[in-house]
Amino acid sequence: MTLRRALGPFDATMVVVGGIIGAGIFINPSLVAQRLASPALVLAAWAAGGAIAVAGALAFAELGARLPRAGGQYAYLSDAVHPMAGFLFGWASLLMIQGGGLAAVAITFAQYALRLVGGEPAHATAVAIAALLVLAAVNVAGVKPGSRLLNVLVLLKVAALAALILGGLLASRLPAAPPTESAPPGSTGVLAFGSALIPILFSYGGWQNVNVIAEEIREPARTVPRALLAGTAIVVAVYLLVNVVYLAALSREGLAATLTPAADSVRRLFGLGADRFIAAAIAISTFGFLDVTLLAPTRITYAMARDGHLPSALGHLHERFRTPAWAIALQAAWAIVLVLTGTFGELVDSVVFADWIFFGLTVATLFVYRRRPGRPGSPGSFRVPGHPILPALFVAVSAFVVASVVVSNPRRSAWGALLLASGVPIYLLASRRQKRGQGR
């Protein structure tokens, strides 16, 4: 039994958009404005982050065309570097990155959903767990139901951001928001610009989800590159325009002073009664992120089990729906444990640098594949323009991001490295068991 190829170009593009746009664009712009001295620098930083995201998407487009296999980064790292590299990526994804991200975003969804309907904040844990269970059930029921729900949610979140952008056209008629503080010292140098890029790049992450579900996409060698480029371009345009609105409505100083830039901008544009609008937008956006995380990254666990690195049950498909039901259930269950224990914040903080370690390693596999162009891939498949300069620059940026995270929070980074290293003995035990089974 194989995964069902049920997704077309539009579905794949929505996976890219939905995987990138979460809660970050509603919060992180304030962090960027705190670190830079002028609106021009703020917009330049978001444009630079968008260029880096496009470079990453181009690299992943070539990888997706060369090796359209479930698991995405896991498959590329296992094939081009070493099976242990792929396993450690999957280990970090299952245990820490996706699990912690699911739990954190589920709580965020619950908080805004309750605010929208006037519910008690004390019910956030129960609502978060219910959301995870519902979305797990939807995605077990088939890749198409999960994708259809995601398509609706992505269109709604983009519509909400479009309404904010269109409303921002009125910002030019508003009196400028009064400055609340001066620009921070040293906010015009290279280090400040690099520091501002960190939350920006985190906000742009997520384009890789479409590579993970390549075996469920029709004509993946053509569709994956097109979806990556179209979806990333849409997000870059939306992010730049939203930041233009934030700056027009609040000023650089006002944006730097608030923890809720979207809510403050909406109040200034539409009045005090618009709070429910932003609550609905964030609830929809986070719910869509939960859906795409249960739709795509669970295929990494499935691929690892199929290769013998995890219990075989996780590599089985549902007889009727042909989905990795046990892998979906495991990811949802682990996220629920993190919600109940409240440990997801520490977990995400400890290993968030791992995302960019593996981004850099994954793009570096292009240099391996270019040395053996016939295995895998075809002569007519997508190729990254500007190779080797563009992939090399992306790898360098990835190293810079990882170094910046380590410098800013060495204790958490060290703890995250230990958690990542804990996957090494698990891999060795699984490999030994696999060799014994093959020797019988």
Taking only the tens place, the pLDDT of each residue in 165-201 is 988 876 555 555 555 455 555 555 777 888 888 889 8
With a cut of 80, say whether residue 121 has pLDDT above it.
yes
2 domain-assigned: no
* Domain count along the chain: 1
Structure tokens at 134: 């519902």
In a domain, 398, yes or no: yes
Q: CA dist 12 to 6, 143, 209, 244, 359, Å?
A: 10, 12, 9, 28, 20
Report pLDDT digits (tens) over 378-410. 556 789 999 999 999 999 999 988 888 788 778
Rounded to whole angstroms, the Cα distance separating 28 from 31 reads 5
**How far apart (Å, rounded) are the C-alpha atoms in residues 224 and 209?**
10
User: How far is 425 from 283, CA to CA, in rounded Å?
Assistant: 40
Q: What is the CATH number of the domain that holds 236?
A: 1.20.1740.10
- Which spans in 118-219 are helix H? 124-140, 143-167, 190-204, 209-212
Per-residue pLDDT band at 276 (split at 50, 70, 90): confident
* Average pLDDT for 238-253: 92
Find the domain containing 166 and state its range: 9-439
